[in-house]
Structure 1
Amino acid sequence: MKNASSFKIENGIIKGEECPFVDPNYNNCGEMLLEKMKNNVNTVGQVDAETGKEDTFGDMMDRSIRCALWMKNKNLKPGDVVAICTNNHLDSIILCLASLYIGVVFNPWIDFGLTKDVMRHFINLTKPKVLFTNEETIQTVLEVAREENINIEIIVFGSVPGFLSFNDIINKQEKLKVENFECTKFQSVDQPAVILYTSGTSGLQKGVLLSHKSIHGNIKLMANISDASCTALVYSSLCWNTGIICPFSFIAQNSKRIVANDFSGKQLCGFVEKYKINWILLGTSLANRLVTSGEMSKYDMSSIKYLWITGSMFKEETQRKIQKLIPSAHIFQRYGMTEFGGLVVHQTNDEKLNSIGTIARNMQMKIIDIVSGKILGPNETGEACFKSPHMMIEYYNDLEKTREAVDSDGWMHTGDLCYYDENGFIFIVDRLKELLRWDGYHVPTVVVEHLIQTFPGISEKNIEKLVEDNLPDYMRLRAGVKFLDHMPYIASGKINRFELKKIASVNARCQ
């Protein structure tokens, strides 16, 4: 493990160590990645976890160049948008590389649970010229495009009569043109690169527009806190920051990526034993499922050196439990944001496990009072605000939302309630939008949730009494308790709090 970033606190602002993160030889991040692959053509870059099929960096380089040539032949220019709606497979990251080479902006869609209305929102927001997608999505896309009178060319992974396949466009390219290919030169690293969607827990997703500079910065940050080379497993698909930055970083670090879908604890442990995986990234929910699966004790997990946990706050007791099950591993929480293209805060070897860690390199953070906007000091809870040189350009085609989130001084207002202690360790309390108010008091829902999770029984009156006996009066469950047959989720797997509020509203009216 490389040394953690250092930081300082000045006038209430936590400042991470400033480090150069852009290679002056490359404004185009794709050009840098292409050079890395050219230098390691015989090294295995990715492996299909289920079949064991291997893809060398030479193979990846060849297909990505061929895809870029097809895009150029279609007259796609820098700034044009191509959409991608697919699961993890050996060709998914190839599209992203090809787009970087020529300045096309790639736009991953949520690849599962995608409704027609969400698809309509995506198409209207970015108006992609081309969509690369799986067979089962095509008909719905055609219906939406027809209804919205939008012309979009569809390339399919697989085979559907009447549609070009990804293999078709790759095989059509001439060998000589592949050998002589050169990436597009940009005047600045601020060239737009990718549009990623926010999770949309409280409404329609916003499109976060990130630059080549942002990708450069996050690849460099990954290199600063990871070993130089590894065999890695990341379940994140392209619609997540980690589903893009991690594969790019593995190319830059000459690492092998195990490409997998459809997580289960048994599957993950089997892959670890089979491929001797030593670096894993999991979302919080998957990490919890791994612990409760009981599978880790059945397999040889000793190859694991690092396990990163991202997405939301991870319980200290669960983190310690995983540590006991995998004593060979360094287990760290990572706090990231789509708007920054990657990590913002991270744990290192010296962290308090009930915190999310300390500020990352090239990041700044302040905590402000949610009413006055005043900068707060240690152990004072307020809204976390961040800034960095590689944060987003904007919310795509949404100036109003951009101005709401980023103030005139360049601070991104996260909506997360946090505090930091005297040593700079950062703690998440709740989401500001999920903070309830009662009789002038702020009620952090996470405090109530954590208490209820400690209760072994399931009954309405007992839960109400538990809260009444253990929490202040203003946190009492005055609207009662409602049991659901199932929890509503958004397509990304997070709880749909917007839908929960509607359910609660209906329940309140019925009482």
Structure 2
Amino acid sequence: MATEDAFPIQEHHSNPHKRSGYCPKTGIYRSLLHLSDGIDIPKSPNLDLAKFIFSHFPHPDRALTQIALIDSATDQQLTYAQLHRSVRSLAAGLHHGLGVGKGDVVLLLSPNSLLYPVICLAVLSVGAILTTANPLNTEGEIVKQVRDSGAKLAISAPEEVHKLKSTGIPTIVTTEKGKDDPDAISIEELLDKCEPLDIPSMGSTQSDTAALLYSSGTTGFSKGVVLTHANLISIIALLRWTVQITGSTNDVYLAFLPMFHVYGLAFFALGLFTVGTTTVLMPRFDLRAMLDAIHRHRVTNIPAVPPVILAMVKIAREGGPQLSSLRRVGCGAAPLSGDLANEFRAQFPWVELRPGYGLTESSGATTFFVSDRDARERPRSVGTLFPGFCAKVVDVDTGAPLPPNRQGEFLIKSPSVMKGYLKNDEATSSAIDGDGWLHTGDLCYFDDDGFIYIVDRIKELIKHNGYQVAPAELEAVLLTHPHILDAAVIPAEDEESGQIPVAYVVRASHSRMTEDQVIQFVASRVASFKRVKKVRFTETIPKSAAGKILRKQLVAQYHHTPSKL
């Protein structure tokens, strides 16, 4: 395992601007971290993502026995050699048998499985473009994605095929089991019948599109995020660096994050194969199944999201399993409160918890904690910029750059920033300005040492009596109450104050907590202008697959549902 002294740390200077990486002349923050020897972001324009990944597979002798993937439900395993052969066989079937080639868009609609990474890598190997869809989406949402992306072929789990029938595009099912049409082609059949032939070079370059990922649309309709081979190569190179410097090379990872999401795709369907680790796959998150998988497979590393962190804390409070094998937990995709981070560390003191920040538009990552010590000392931070990243913090109203400890919109620039939104020039120009800065829409600030703190989404700030109230801050307070299992805060229009904070709360099964008790609990812990004014009790908080609260659903629910006490 790497030691603290071996980490590439930020240089320490007496000048606070040098410690933060901030340049007062340009208003730009630059990462002070550097990639380790032996890891770089390739510059060759003629490199594609599949070739990059395969170039870092284990040596053929080791690949024969090194386990790449384990199915948590069936214990079926794939070695790296078997994975490589399967990808080549499927790529041959797609290209020679079905005519899939460079620039064709292939839609993948399936939960996590051993076949998911095989399909992703095979699609990329023939120069095609991958677009992944959420199996929980409605038929209408799937149809919209097919049409918007221009998909030529769909690959679907048998139970989801009905959502594609109205599109009229050719569809392959993933498995023989469960398919309705006995004549339908399956991925399993292609793997069984196709030889792993060499695919002629498709001439894909780093500037070509590799994936079309549809953002979660928490504040509006989802948009197709265009990610190039260069975008994903750069983020996987950074993943290789993080595995190396955190001593995670021999870790056993657990994958319950959906691979259709950029977080799961970059980690489990693509990136971790470049460091030769073993990943245990779950089709979806289930707390008991997760605990069982950790125990049976001696899992050491879990990339997670805040709802999973909360669930682990609650199970530990109840005297659940010790999870003694676990060594590292990452957290991203949605804000993790400092209080929840502290409680997780109290319950699992032997585990390194490293929150991070990223978004689909940045290929999934922007910040990272190199040192576990730094993460423990700054529980509300999401770490520092990845090597090669630049950032600005700008005034929300004027756009003026801001120095450390001043809140403003977070702007980033890096090799991983998307090409743009598919067929949406207006949205693209709104997100990426003329100088190439991606406007994240998140309110943040840097401290004097270059650590970044995400306050909330700018569009989700509640405007109360001229003040700005961050829903995430109030949610963090609510979740500290032992009778509150989950919570979300939304704005509600108010004639006198403009907007007021309204809390949606999931009570523990035994609790008889009242609205007034919730209001008083929060009031005793925040400034007067931040106080919750109304409370609605609910059974669940609607969230995206990545764990982000779907506030627009709660806002609509608020206008149609009376108080439930």
TM-score norm. by structure 2 comes to 0.82
* Residue from 253, 260, 267 that aligns with 1:239: 260
Task: Answer whether contact 1:266 1:295 (CA < 8 A) is retained.
Answer: no
* Residue from 138, 145, 158 that aligns with 1:135: 158
Task: Answer whether contact 1:189 1:213 (CA < 8 A) is retained.
Answer: yes
* Residue from 383, 389, 393 that aligns with 2:409: 383
Query: Do residues 210 (structure 1) and 227 (structure 2) align?
Result: yes
Q: Could you tell me which residue of structure 2 aligns to residue 153 of structure 1? A: 171
Per-residue CA deviations over 1:75-95 (Å, capped at 9, x if unaligned) read 222221100011111111111
Query: Do residues 3 (structure 1) and 7 (structure 2) align?
Result: yes
Alignment of 1:148-297 (within 5 A): 150-159=168-177, 160=179, 161=181, 162-173=183-194, 175=195, 178-186=196-204, 188-226=205-243, 227-247=248-268, 248-294=270-316
SS at match of 1:125: helix
SS at match of 1:189: coil
| Partner AA of 1:435 in structure 2 | L
Task: Answer whether contact 2:52 2:233 (CA < 8 A) is retained.
Answer: no
Separation of aligned partners in 1, 2:519 and 2:250:
52
| Partner AA of 1:166 in structure 2 | I
Aligned in 2, Cα 1:339/1:171: closer, same or farther, shift over 3 Å? same
Separation of aligned partners in 1, 2:520 and 2:343:
30
Task: Answer whether contact 1:265 1:293 (CA < 8 A) is retained.
Answer: no
Q: Could you tell me which residue of structure 1 aligns to residue 550 of structure 2? A: 496
SS at match of 1:193: strand
Q: Could you tell me which residue of structure 2 aligns to residue 344 of structure 1? A: 366
Query: Do residues 459 (structure 1) and 514 (structure 2) align?
Result: yes
Q: CA deviation at 1:199?
A: 1.1
Per-residue CA deviations over 1:312-351 (Å, capped at 9, x if unaligned) read 2223343333334444332211211111112201223223
Separation of aligned partners in 2, 1:296 and 1:222:
34
Aligned in 2, Cα 1:475/1:454: closer, same or farther, shift over 3 Å? same
Q: Could you tell me which residue of structure 1 aligns to residue 78 of structure 2? A: 55
Separation of aligned partners in 1, 2:547 and 2:527:
32
Separation of aligned partners in 2, 1:476 and 1:292:
26
| Partner AA of 1:379 in structure 2 | N
Query: Do residues 15 (structure 1) and 26 (structure 2) align?
Result: no
Separation of aligned partners in 1, 2:385 and 2:171:
43
Query: Do residues 416 (structure 1) and 442 (structure 2) align?
Result: yes
Task: Answer whether contact 2:89 2:197 (CA < 8 A) is retained.
Answer: no
**Count of matched residue positions in the alignment of Structure 1 and Structure 2:** 498
Task: Answer whether contact 1:118 1:204 (CA < 8 A) is retained.
Answer: no
Q: Could you tell me which residue of structure 1 aligns to residue 112 of structure 2? A: 88
Task: Answer whether contact 1:130 1:155 (CA < 8 A) is retained.
Answer: no
Gaps of 5+ in 1: none
CA RMSD of aligned residues (A): 2.6
Percent of pairs with identical residues:
22
Task: Answer whether contact 1:134 1:158 (CA < 8 A) is retained.
Answer: no
Separation of aligned partners in 2, 1:48 and 1:78:
31
Q: Which moved more, 1:98-107 or 1:342-351?
A: 342-351
SS at match of 2:449: coil
Separation of aligned partners in 2, 1:241 and 1:438:
35
Separation of aligned partners in 1, 2:202 and 2:81:
20
| Partner AA of 1:287 in structure 2 | I
Query: Do residues 483 (structure 1) and 537 (structure 2) align?
Result: yes
| Partner AA of 1:190 in structure 2 | S
Task: Answer whether contact 1:231 1:257 (CA < 8 A) is retained.
Answer: yes
SS at match of 1:385: strand
